[in-house]
Amino acid sequence: ESTEWLKVAKDAAALGIHVYDVKTGRIEWDERVRALWGVAADVPINYETFLSGLHPDDKAATLAAVDKALDPNGDGQYAAEYRVENRTDGVVRWVAATGIVFFEENEAVRLVGTVQDITERKQLEAKLHASETMYRRLFETAKDGVLILDANDGRILEANPFMTEMSGFSTAEFIGKELWEIGLFRDQPANEAAFRDLQQNGYVRYDHLPLKSKSEEPVEVEFVSNVYQWDGRSVAQCNIRDISDRSRLEQQTKTQAAELSDLHRRKDEFLAMLSHELRSPLAPIANAVELLGLQRGSETQIQQQARSIIQRQMGHLKHLVDDLLEVSRITTGRVQLRKVPVTVSTIVEGAVETVRPLIEQRRHELTVSVPTEPIWLQADTARMEQVLVNLLTNAAKYTAEGGHVSLTVELEEAAVATFARTWASDQEPHVLANVATKQCVIRVRDTGVGISPELLPHVFDLFTQAERSLDRSQGGLGIGLALVQRLTELHGGSVEAHSTPGQGSEFIVRLPLATLETPNSTSPISETGQPIARPLRVLVVDDNVDTVLSFSMLLKAAGHEVRTAHDGPTAVQVALDYQPDVMLLDIGLPGLNGYQVAKRIRQESTLRNIMLVALTGYGQEADRQTALDSGFNHHLVKPARLEQLQKILATVSEKVS
C-alpha cells in the first residue's frame, strides 16, 4: 500500500526517482529519468552516464552541488538545477534535482532523490526576465517622466530618471509622496478628485498641467495615467510629458491665426473701399460719355471713335471693380442671391449684349443657340448674367481676332441619386435609386489658345491666370472663373472646363430647372424711352465735383431743373429752400453722411415726399438695406446706368404731373 501511494504521488508530481550508490558508482533511474536522458531501459547506468548528459555550462555547478551533499560535515541535502541534452532526440531540457544522502560510519554511501522536468517553467522565467528587462530599459530611458503609484493610496513608489531630470527632484524625494505634494495638482482636494476618477475609470488624462520644478519655475505638462496589476499589486502608471514647447507653438499658431483673420478682414475692407473709390471716378466718366453721346449728330469720326473707346474701357473697368467686390462677398459668405423665376434666354440676352462690344472689337464670329421653348430657372438674374459674361469675356480674350465663340443652351437628362441614411454614425448613406430628371446645360466654346494641362485643374482657383508673358498678357485679375464656380454652386449647379492647347476651350454650366410654377409673363418689362411727363426739380449732392457737374449736365440736357451741393449740412439747407422732387445723394459726404441727411429730410414735413435716391460706391446688401432703413427710396451703385435713373425720374414725373 505504501508503494502504491508513493507511485501515485510520484506520477502526480511528474517526478523521476534516482538512486546513486556512492561506493560502486552505479545509478538506478526510473523510466521518467531515463526518458529525460534518452537512455533505454536495458542500458546500465553509472555516474559517467549521468555526467555525459549534463550541459557543459552547467556541469561544474552540478558536480559542486553533488560534492557538497556528499560531504560528511554537511547537511546531506542535494539540490541543483541544470540542463540535460537528450541522447536520442538532442533536445535540451531543464531539470530540478533533489536528494538526501545516507551516511554509514561518517561516510556517504547512497544518494536518493527526485528529478523533475522544469523546462516550461524556465522558459516562462526567461520570458518574464526579458519582459522585465525591456520594461526596466524603457522605464529608465524614456523621454517622458514616469511615476509608479500605489493605486490604493496614491503614493509614489518609483520615478524614472527623466522625471527627476525634468523636475530637479531626486528619486528619494519622490518616494512616498502624493502628486499634489510635487506640484502636479493645485492642492490636495484637486489631487483626490483626480485620483477618484482614476480609481473609478482606470484612466485619466489632463492637458496643460503646471508641474512645479525644484527651481520653482513651472513646467507645462501633459498627464496620462492608467491602473494595472504589477507584481501582485495594483499600481497606477503616470506618464508626464513636457509640452512647454508645444504650448508655445500652439499659442504662436493662435496668434498667427488671429493676425491672419484680422489681415483677411482688413483685406475685405480694403477691397470694398477700393471698389468704392474706383466707382466714384467712374460715375462722372460714365456721365461724360453719355453727354458726348447726346451730340452724335455733330460728332466727327475721330470723336465718335474716341467716345467708343472710352465707353468700352469704362465697361471693362466697371467689370473689374464688380468682380473685386463680388469675390470679397463670396469669400466671406456675405453674398445674397435674389432668386426669381427667369428664363435662360433672358439671362443669355443680357450677357451677350454686355460682351458684344468686345466681340465686335476682336472681330469674332459669335453663335448663340437657345431653344425656342422657354427654360425656366430660379435664379438671381444679375449674378447668372455675370457668370455668362465672365465665360464669354474669357473666350473673347483668349481667342485670336477673327475666331469663333459659341454659346449653346439645351436640356439634358441627369440622374439624381436618392439616398437612405442610417442612424448609425459609422455608416455612409447608400443610394436607393437614381431618378432621371432634366437640367439646363449652357456651353461656351471658343477656338482660342486653350488651357495647358498643368493649369486646367486649377482654373477655378482664386487668382489663377494663364501665363503673363508680355506677348500673352490679356489683363484681368484671375478671379473671373472663381466667381463663375462660386455663383454657379450657389444656384445649386456645377461648372467644368475642358481644353486642348491650341484647339480652344469649352466651359459647361449645369443648372437645376425651376421647381416653381411657370410665371405668366414671358419676359421682363422693358424700359421705354418715352419723354418725361414734366420737368423735375432735382438736387444732386456729391463731394466729387465732376460727378455733380456731369449729372447736372445730363439732367439739364433732359429738360430738368438742377441744384447742387457738396456736403451734408448744405444738402439739408438747399433741400429746405429748393423743395426738390428728387435728390440724388451720395453716402460718403463730409459734415453729415448720406444716411444722416436722409433721416433729417424725412423728419421735415415739407420734404417727406421727396424721392431719395442713394447714388454710392457702397454696393453690398448691407449697404442697400441701411439706405432703405434711413429713408432712401432707391439704392443705385456707381456708375449707375442712365436707363435706371431715367426710369426713376419718369416715375416721379408721372406722379407729380
What was the pLDDT predicted at 523? 37
Please tell me the distance from the alpha carbon of residue 462 to that of residue 466, in angstroms, as a whole number: 12
Q: Say if residue 470's pLDDT is above 60.
A: no
Most confident of 73-87, 406-420, 611-625: 73-87
Q: Say if residue 201's pLDDT is above 80.
A: yes
Q: Which three cell numbers stand for residue 559?
A: 429738360
What percentage of the chain reaches a pLDDT higher than 90?
33
**pLDDT mean over 156-165:** 85
**pLDDT mean over 342-365:** 90
Identify whether the C-beta of residue 434 lies closer than 8 Å to the C-beta of residue 416.
Answer: yes
Please tell me the distance from the alpha carbon of residue 316 to that of residue 639, in angstroms, as a whole number: 12
What was the pLDDT predicted at 382? 82
Q: Would you give the DSSP letter of residue 300?
A: -
Comparing 630 with 304, which gets the higher pLDDT? 630
Please tell me the distance from the alpha carbon of residue 102 to that of residue 78, in angstroms, as a whole number: 11
Task: Compute the chain's Rg from CA coordinates.
Answer: 48
Please tell me the distance from the alpha carbon of residue 491 to that of residue 485, in angstroms, as a whole number: 10
- pLDDT tens-digit readout, 260-303: 888 777 776 776 667 667 777 777 787 787 777 777 677 777 77
What was the pLDDT predicted at 471? 37
Please tell me the distance from the alpha carbon of residue 2 to that of residue 4, in angstroms, as a whole number: 5
Torsion, Cα 418 422 425 429, to 10 degrees, reads -20
Question: Mind giving me the DSSP string for 13-75?
Answer: TTEEEEEEETTT-BEEE-HHHHHHHT--TTS--BHHHHHHHB-HHHHHHHHHHHHHHH-TTS-
What is the 3-class SS of 542-587, one letter each residue?
Answer: CCCHHHHHHHHHHHHHCCCEEEEECCHHHHHHHHHHHCCCEEEECC
Question: Mind giving me the DSSP string for 391-423?
Answer: HHHHHHHTS-TT-EEEEEEEEEEEEEEEEE--S
What was the pLDDT predicted at 334? 60
Comparing 331 with 452, which gets the higher pLDDT? 452
Residue 521 CB: number of other CB atoms within 10 A? 9
Q: Say if residue 347's pLDDT is above 70.
A: yes
Q: Say if residue 428's pLDDT is above 60.
A: no
